[in-house]
A and B are shown apart, each in its own frame.
Chain A
Amino acid sequence: MKPVTLAGLMALLATSAARAVETVENSLEAQSTEASGGMPQLDFGNPLMLAQVIWLLIIFGVLYYVLAHVVLPRFDSVLENRRNRIQGDLEAARSAKAEADNALDAHRRATARSRADAQAAITEALATAQADATAQAAVLNAKLNDQIAAAEARIATARDTAMGALREVATDTAAALVQRLTGLNEPAAIDAAVQRELTAQGRA
């Protein structure tokens, strides 16, 4: 059953294909016989051909005139206007950028200047403070030195006084000892001995 249907279908296909080819061939033959009549485009005997060209020139001429003198100049002005507008906007943007650059530069310069000023002020204040401190220290030193000198002088006086008293005490003690031991009273010899002894000890 199935192969039969398939075969039938194939046969139908083949016959219709054959018919199609036949028809096409027929028509092509008809076409070729008809083509001996020529293409309508090459039938220059046809009065419509000349009329067509004349009307073409008229229509093309009018179209050219309308486009060249009415329509296209409008495009010129619109496009020119747009170009100018864009150019103007670009220039404005460029000048704004230059202005901003200048402002930034000025700002930078001002910052640098104020920083330098601050630095100078700090240095100056430091120097003044240092000078003040040095001067005060010098005054204080001088005062202390004076006090030290005075104290040393007082000490020297006190020692000298003490030293003087030492000679008296030594002389008196020596005289008393000599009196008691020997019964002699020779103040000159005692004085000389005390003087010699003190000199030897470095306390004269």
Chain B
Amino acid sequence: MAAEGKTIDALSQFELTHAFGPVGAAVNFTQSNAHMLAAAVVIVAVMAMGIAPRAVVPGRLQAMSEMFYEFLENLVTGQVGHEGKRYFPFVFTLFMFVLFGNVIGLLPYAFTYTSHIAVTFALAALVFIVTTGVALALHGRKFFGYFFPEGAPLWLAPIIVPVEVVSYLSRPISLSVRLFANMVAGHVLLKVFATFVVLLGGLGVVGPVMAVLPLSVNVLLIGFELLVAFLQAYVFAILTSIYLHDAVHLH
């Protein structure tokens, strides 16, 4: 499509369409949601099938699923402390959902739901609501002391309180924009270089030879994007843990 029109169309890959035919269209089920469903099914399948043998000495799949489990358990308990175990399933679900969204999105023809600011912002807003809810439930009114550190001179309050409030409110924005921007940038780059390959391939004798260049760039980019996919999921999870730490301990 892009090559036929002799244009680079890097953004149409992010367009939402209906999935699952007329049934999906009736309930506005998008292809983005279909990929979320696929990711969720894969996550549950990997974890449930991994732990199914319940072996004392784990096999490969069990070792992998246990690795996911213990990696995030250590991350949450390391950041929040031992009482953070309660919030582990939430952080685990977030991490796996983002990671599998990023990785599945790298497959050919796949859609990357983490490249939609609406999706990442919804997840970040969920984190914001959960952490604020936890803080309010644990500390009640004392939670608002978070915005004015104890021992600071009172006359600094007009400066400190707005700064703290703004930084607290900007958390979901930075959390969502970071993931969104990373995924969009990666996929746009991949698409641009892939289009170069097609355009150059159509240029007579020398074109295919020159097309090797953007192709090799894309090969490198895919490896880089795999790193970014994992890294951004990790960042999302560890920031959530840090916010939970603040909610549980108030600094």
Contact = CB atoms under 8 A, between A and B. Distances in A.
Nearest to A78: B54
Instruction: Kindly state the interface size class of chain B when it binds its partner.
Output: 35 or more
| Interface SS, A side | helix
A6 B215 CA distance: 27
B117 interface: yes
Given A30-B7, A40-B11, A79-B70, A57 B89 contact: no
Contacts of A27: 6-8, 195, 199
Given A24-B196, A26-B7, A27-B8, A64 B207 contact: no
A75 B8 contact: no
Contact of B206 (A16, A39, A48, A51): A16
A12 B209 CA distance: 13
A122 interface: no
Interface stretch (A65-73, A93-101, A107-115, A140-148): A65-73
Given A26-B7, A75-B66, A19 B115 contact: no
B66 A79 contact: yes
A106 B18 CA distance: 82
A87 interface: no
B117 A42 contact: yes
Complex A-B, nearest 8 residue pairs according to Cβ-Cβ distance, in ascending order: A51-B28, A68-B89, A55-B33, A30-B7, A48-B16, A63-B40, A27-B8, A40-B15
18 contacts: A20-B210, A24-B199, A31-B7, A31-B10, A42-B117, A44-B118, A51-B30, A55-B28, A55-B30, A55-B36, A64-B89, A64-B93, A71-B48, A74-B51, A75-B69, A78-B51, A79-B70, A81-B56
